[in-house]
A and B are shown apart, each in its own frame.
Chain A
Amino acid sequence: DQQVKQNSPSLSVQEGRISILNCDYTNSMFDYFLWYKKYPAEGPTFLISISSIKDKNEDGRFTVFLNKSAKHLSLHIVPSQPGDSAVYFCAASALRQNFVFGPGTRLSVLP
């Protein structure tokens, strides 16, 4: 049973537009969420995180939104750039212990 779901395996967006990546979770004990980006032949790179006491966190072009009642979070990238093309993983944890990852969404930003 997948506790963290990313229902879109892939997403294509035009350069300069907004990319929205979605993530759903089932475990109500999760209280800390992260997004990672992964290029081929590299390990995942941390992007941004959010604690369950917040509903939004921004870092430059990246914003994460958390809707606890819906058990849903999303990552917004504005504006999207070709270098953002990668696989994006959503991860969740309870008390910042063992992290559970989703299956990933492949983002392609078209020039």
Chain B
Amino acid sequence: ETGVTQSPTHLIKTRGQQVTLRCSSQSGHNTVSWYQQALGQGPQFIFQYYREEENGRGNFPPRFSGLQFPNYSSELNVNALELDDSALYLCASSLAVGLTQVTQYFGPGTRLTVL
């Protein structure tokens, strides 16, 4: 059984650019959630995908978007990058039965720096 993996591990972009982050879910999981963790803070929920559809969204603007693929891997896309987007982006996968999730398991994260 493989765990949650994320790529790349580190990324440097400039303001206004676009970025795509990738996540492979743990085997058997059908739900993926994305979080943004700024320095010194806890993870902030961005959105969740269940069976390839968005299933909940936090307080993030539309320039944060995502996809979930049939193999349950996922992408997070951020357009028009701003300096405040610099953070650790965490992906978490879980098994949801109906609306109920079992515990989320996190990947190691992608550290995004926006200059």
A residues neighboring B (CB under 8 Å): 4, 6, 34, 36, 41-46, 49, 89, 91, 93, 95-104
Q: Does B104 contact A (CB under 8 A)?
A: yes
B58 touches A98 (CB 8 A): yes
Stretch at the interface among B13-21, B42-50, B73-81: B42-50
Closest 10 CB pairs of A and B: A43-B106, A101-B42, A96-B101, A96-B100, A101-B43, A103-B42, A44-B106, A98-B56, A43-B108, A43-B107
Per DSSP, chain A at the interface is loop
B25-49, CB under 8 A of A: which get 1 and which 0? 0000000010100001111110010
A103 touches B106 (CB 8 A): no
B58 touches A89 (CB 8 A): no
A46 touches B104 (CB 8 A): yes
Q: Does B99 contact A (CB under 8 A)?
A: yes
B93-115, CB under 8 A of A: which get 1 and which 0? 00000011111111111000000
A103 touches B40 (CB 8 A): yes
B108 touches A89 (CB 8 A): no
A49 touches B56 (CB 8 A): no
Closest to B35 in A: A101
Given A98-B48, A103-B41, the answer on whether A43 and B90 have CB atoms closer than 8 Å is yes
**Complexed CA–CA distance, A6 and B44 (Å):** 15
B56 touches A97 (CB 8 A): yes
**Complexed CA–CA distance, A12 and B15 (Å):** 40
Q: Which residues of B contact A100 (CB under 8 A)?
A: 45
**Complexed CA–CA distance, A101 and B35 (Å):** 10
Distance in Å: Cβ of B33 to nearest Cβ of chain A: 7
Q: Which residues of A contact B90 (CB under 8 A)?
A: 43-44
Q: Which residues of B contact A45 (CB under 8 A)?
A: 106
**Complexed CA–CA distance, A83 and B48 (Å):** 32
Given A95-B100, A97-B101, the answer on whether A104 and B4 have CB atoms closer than 8 Å is no
A89 touches B104 (CB 8 A): no
Distance in Å: Cβ of A73 to nearest Cβ of chain B: 15
B45 touches A89 (CB 8 A): no
